[in-house]
A and B are shown apart, each in its own frame.
Chain A
Amino acid sequence: MSDLTAARLEREFKHARPLIGCRFDPSGRFLFVSSEDDSIQRFDLLTGVKTPLLGHKSWVRGMAFVGTLPAAGSGELDTLRRRYTSLHALTGFAGAILPPPKPAPFTFISGDYHGNLIWWQGDAESPKPIRTVEAHKGWIRAVAVSPDGTTLASCGNDNAVRLWKTEDGSLIRSLEGHGSHVYNCAFHPDGTRLASCDLKGIVKDWNLKTGVADRELDAKILTKYDPTFMADIGGARAIAFSPDGTKLGCAGITNVSNAFAGVGNPAVVVFDWKEGKPKVLKPKDAFQGTAWGFAFHPAGFSLAAGGGSGGRVWFWKGDDVVSVHMLTAPVVARDLALAPAGDRFAVAGANGSAYVYTFTPGPAPVPPPTPPKK
């Protein structure tokens, strides 16, 4: 069981251009980050190797995987790392030629602001696009993969949510009904329903058998029409179901007094999924900015990352609505990813760095060995 107060910065992965999003692969070994240079970078937490994924012609914020998830709390990556480090210690210089363990195969799917989805073999040494699908008119803002791995959901600025076969990229169904840009979507853990949230804070609960939204939930606290600037601000910048499917969280900004300066407070609307009743999680500090990433931890707490005047990570326990713990991130955090085993999380920094935090208490782990030369 992870202790949220034990969270500490473990390492920094640097890229030359500001980051937009971040996601861990199903094994938790790789961190994928997207950048303002249209690239995706894959960081290997085991070896430190950075691998570019080139193919998008615009920014990417939708990233999802098809692969086998490790058991929560398994600590698989740390076990692997200990073995790898020990081997290096035993073999000395010979370790420089030891190849890292082969990762389990997984598919990586990314969606960009030109409306394209790209399929990649995520574990390949140098992943290349294997399929490109023109999926939306305008931005794809988010993608998600169903729990059984068969279906990809994408959503974007054409107000549509679309379902695709992960196997071949063919369209299964288009879910129409949102009246504004769809900011995010997430599959319910039981795989029968999909939640999507739009700019106006309307959350739709889609029945995936019928393609009909059976109900709408109200996250309008995360949206505002600013009459001074005459524009809308809002939408779920992050969305997540709790592992047991009893809660849905939508993160963003509330209490907006100046949309064009981003003056407001981070907030997470958490719905009791069965009843549809919301509660609002807020930081304890009077912070101004936006919550850009959110996750439910399997241990029962939740966390969000964001920024405005600096970067922050906030933690909430159980049913608390005020944060109980907070970390100051080195820079504005534009996204948050929780490792599948729950042992780590990462934030995407506006300065180009991805910061990986660990819940493992104690001194900093031994840094990984120098990557083997190719």
Chain B
Amino acid sequence: MPRCDYACNTADHGLSRRAFLGASTAAALGPVGFASANANAELAKSQKRVLVIFLAGGVSQLETWDPKPNTDTGGPFKAISTSVPGTHICELLPHTAKQMHRLAIVRGLNSVSDDHGIGEKIMLTGRKPEAGIEYPHIGAVSAKLLGNGAASALPGHIQILPKGSSGFGKADATFLGPKFASVSLGDGKPPADLFRPANLSVESDAAREDFRRKLNDRFAKSRKSAATDAYAESFEQAERVVKQAEVFDIEKEDRKVADRYGRHDLGRHFLLARRLLEAGVTYVKVSHSNYDTHHENFDFHIEQLGEFDRPFAALMDDLADRGMLETTLVVVMSEMGRTPRINDRYGRDHWSKAWSVALGGCGIKGGAVVGKTNATGTAVTDREVYSGHLFHTYLRAVGLDSTKSFYPNERPVPIADPKTAAITEILA
């Protein structure tokens, strides 16, 4: 992990007054910080947020945003009309089709790498990997520049994973520092051992925590490093999560609303994402697994997009109904697309040269379509863009100047790849 600039003395290190006030505000609002409709509306007006839905494994652009029916590469599915006249998407997304007036499609994306890990990094950092520097993920950048959950006691950068363990201390903030690193929620659940055991009194717990802080502070005076900082930040993040534990309990949600999202894993995760955003978290990423369909691509896309479609449409409706869509940028991305060529096992393989991403909400011109691929989807024929273009677009959409720089160790590092620029055609 790159070392942080510990000499900068910015408010981003340690517990800032703003974060403290944010926590206090949240506490005043009630146990989950968004007890009233008025409070929601106020939050919605004041804070820009980012929601990334990551279709892990590489979703097929032909089975989603750029169908090519009745061609050599099109597969068996139809293209269906949407709420935007003239715009068609794959029949596997009938509910999403009704949301297209709120979404823009970028159809000319070339993300350069056909490797899962590298592709994910490219899509989340807006850069090709470079020797000597690790760029922060969009979640960390959003948390840093949009306030890190300032209106909430919760961390500003949360990712909801389909399964696995929950935890702190990810390296995705790089030089921005561990304060902006993601908190992972495996299956949408906070770490199981986060909360105070029943047999431990509040007083004993507080004393124990106080003792830990003293030891930690003493150690940090002489041996402070990125590792110790990340360790200390993990405790602070955990503390913030504990303070708003009820946000994570989607059983608190109105039953009718929960039904609209669907009573399955992804429905729960989308609902949790909305609750977190509503509670003031700056950036939430929800991953849906999995789309890496080298075998029987079409069968698996029926199953996976069948899980995605209805809850995603419910999420978009819910965000709009609550007045949050105007302040929340929604991005549906993946680490790559899939080959137009159908292999001999009905699969599609890895493909980065010409695929699509959908964006909506804050700062996005709903219904816009930019970029074009050829008749069989094998090449971009108009307005080719790279992940850097998207990264600029995300930041511009939430009102940030993407041409500015960070200054880790007093060295300027452009926030977004300066060789690219925002896709203005889809900006509102």
A220 to B217, CA, bound (A): 58
Number of interface residues of B (CB under 8 A): 25
Please state if B294 and A229 are interface contacts (CB–CB under 8 Å). Answer: no
Interface status of B61 (Cβ within 8 A of chain A): no
Please state if A260 and B72 are interface contacts (CB–CB under 8 Å). Answer: no
Which stretch (B221-229, B296-304, B327-335) binds chain A? B296-304
Among residues of A, the one whose C-beta sits closest to the C-beta of B301 is: A231
A157 to B299, CA, bound (A): 10
Q: Mark B44-81, 1 if CB is under 8 A from A, else 0.
A: 00000000000001000000000000101001111000
**Which residues in window 206-235 of A have CB below 8 A to B?**
227-233
Q: CB-CB < 8 A to B138: which residues of A?
A: none
A113 to B342, CA, bound (A): 16
Among residues of B, the one whose C-beta sits closest to the C-beta of A183 is: B299
Known: A230-B289, A260-B292, A260-B293. A57 touches B344 (CB 8 A): no
Please state if B295 and A262 are interface contacts (CB–CB under 8 Å). Answer: yes
Please state if A157 and B300 are interface contacts (CB–CB under 8 Å). Answer: no
Interface status of A298 (Cβ within 8 A of chain B): no
Among residues of A, the one whose C-beta sits closest to the C-beta of B346 is: A334
Interface status of B345 (Cβ within 8 A of chain A): yes
Q: How far is the CB of A365 from chain B (nearest CB, A)?
A: 29
Interface status of A58 (Cβ within 8 A of chain B): yes
Interface of A, secondary structure class, is loop
Interface status of B163 (Cβ within 8 A of chain A): yes
Residue from A59, A114, A260, A290 whose CB has the most chain B CB atoms within 10 Å: A260
A155 to B343, CA, bound (A): 25
A146 to B78, CA, bound (A): 31
Please state if B296 and A233 are interface contacts (CB–CB under 8 Å). Answer: yes
Please state if A307 and B345 are interface contacts (CB–CB under 8 Å). Answer: yes
Q: CB-CB < 8 A to A22: which residues of B?
A: none
Known: A38-B70, A229-B57, A230-B162. A262 touches B289 (CB 8 A): no
A300 to B265, CA, bound (A): 48
A138 to B301, CA, bound (A): 13
A226 to B239, CA, bound (A): 35
Interface status of A259 (Cβ within 8 A of chain B): yes
A229 to B162, CA, bound (A): 10
Q: Mark B287-326, 1 if CB is under 8 A from A, else 0.
A: 0011011111001101110000000000000000000000
Q: Mark B382-394, 1 if CB is under 8 A from A, else 0.
A: 0000000000000
Q: Mark A67-109, 1 if CB is under 8 A from B, else 0.
A: 0000000000000000000000000000000000000000000
Select A114's contact among B78, B290, B294, beta carbons within 8 Å: B78
Please state if B345 and A229 are interface contacts (CB–CB under 8 Å). Answer: no
Select A232's contact among B76, B303, B345, beta carbons within 8 Å: B303
Interface status of A44 (Cβ within 8 A of chain B): no
A139 to B290, CA, bound (A): 22
Among residues of B, the one whose C-beta sits closest to the C-beta of A57 is: B70
Known: A229-B290, A231-B304, A232-B303. A307 touches B344 (CB 8 A): yes
Among residues of B, the one whose C-beta sits closest to the C-beta of A36 is: B342
Interface status of A165 (Cβ within 8 A of chain B): no
Q: CB-CB < 8 A to A334: which residues of B?
A: 344
Q: CB-CB < 8 A to B299: which residues of A?
A: 233
Q: Mark A112-148, 1 if CB is under 8 A from B, else 0.
A: 1110000000000000000000000011000000000
**Which residues in window 34-83 of A have CB below 8 A to B?**
36-38, 57-59
Interface status of B347 (Cβ within 8 A of chain A): yes
Q: Mark A331-374, 1 if CB is under 8 A from B, else 0.
A: 11010000000000000001100000000000000000000000
Select B344's contact among A58, A138, A228, A332, beta carbons within 8 Å: A332
**Which residues in window 287-319 of A have CB below 8 A to B?**
289-290, 307-308
Select B292's contact among A38, A114, A229, beta carbons within 8 Å: A229
Q: How far is the CB of A156 from chain B (nearest CB, A)?
A: 11
Please state if B290 and A260 are interface contacts (CB–CB under 8 Å). Answer: yes
A112 to B75, CA, bound (A): 12
Please state if A17 and B162 are interface contacts (CB–CB under 8 Å). Answer: no
Please state if B345 and A262 are interface contacts (CB–CB under 8 Å). Answer: yes
Q: How far is the CB of B80 from chain A (nearest CB, A)?
A: 12
Q: CB-CB < 8 A to A290: which residues of B?
A: 345
Among residues of B, the one whose C-beta sits closest to the C-beta of A229 is: B290
Q: How far is the CB of A87 from chain B (nearest CB, A)?
A: 40
Interface of B, secondary structure class, is loop
Please state if A229 and B289 are interface contacts (CB–CB under 8 Å). Answer: yes
Select A331's contact among B76, B163, B292, B344, beta carbons within 8 Å: B344
Q: CB-CB < 8 A to B78: which residues of A?
A: 57-58, 114
Q: CB-CB < 8 A to A262: which residues of B?
A: 294-296, 345, 347
Q: CB-CB < 8 A to A191: which residues of B?
A: none
Interface status of A18 (Cβ within 8 A of chain B): yes
Q: How far is the CB of B54 from chain A (nearest CB, A)?
A: 14
A230 to B161, CA, bound (A): 12
Please state if B294 and A261 are interface contacts (CB–CB under 8 Å). Answer: yes
A36 to B302, CA, bound (A): 18
A227 to B75, CA, bound (A): 26
A117 to B57, CA, bound (A): 35
Q: CB-CB < 8 A to B293: which residues of A?
A: 260
Please state if A231 and B300 are interface contacts (CB–CB under 8 Å). Answer: yes
A113 to B70, CA, bound (A): 12
Q: CB-CB < 8 A to A227: which residues of B?
A: 163
Q: CB-CB < 8 A to B70: which residues of A?
A: 38, 57
Residue from B75, B76, B289 whose CB has the most chain A CB atoms within 10 Å: B76
Please state if B76 and A113 are interface contacts (CB–CB under 8 Å). Answer: yes
Please state if B345 and A332 are interface contacts (CB–CB under 8 Å). Answer: yes
**Which residues in window 340-372 of B have CB below 8 A to A?**
342, 344-345, 347
A269 to B302, CA, bound (A): 26
Q: How far is the CB of A353 from chain B (nearest CB, A)?
A: 12
A18 to B75, CA, bound (A): 11
Known: A58-B76, A230-B162, A262-B296. A308 touches B290 (CB 8 A): no
Q: How far is the CB of B143 from chain A (nearest CB, A)?
A: 28
Q: Mark A141-167, 1 if CB is under 8 A from B, else 0.
A: 000000000000000010000000000
Known: A58-B76, A260-B295. A18 touches B342 (CB 8 A): yes
Q: CB-CB < 8 A to B295: which residues of A?
A: 233, 259-262
Q: CB-CB < 8 A to A232: which residues of B?
A: 303
Please state if A350 and B344 are interface contacts (CB–CB under 8 Å). Answer: yes
Q: CB-CB < 8 A to A331: which residues of B?
A: 344
Q: CB-CB < 8 A to B76: which residues of A?
A: 58-59, 112-114, 139
A232 to B342, CA, bound (A): 20
A240 to B342, CA, bound (A): 28
Select A260's contact among B162, B163, B300, B344, beta carbons within 8 Å: B300
Q: CB-CB < 8 A to A231: which residues of B?
A: 290, 300, 303-304
Q: CB-CB < 8 A to B289: which residues of A?
A: 229-230
Cross-chain pairs A/B with CB under 8 angstroms, 10 sampled:
A17-B72, A18-B344, A139-B76, A181-B302, A227-B163, A230-B290, A260-B294, A260-B295, A307-B345, A332-B345
Closest 4 CB pairs of A and B: A262-B295, A350-B344, A113-B76, A59-B76
New A-B pairs, 13, CB < 8 Å, besides A36-B342, A231-B304: A57-B70, A58-B77, A113-B76, A228-B290, A229-B289, A229-B292, A260-B295, A261-B294, A289-B345, A290-B345, A331-B344, A332-B344, A350-B344
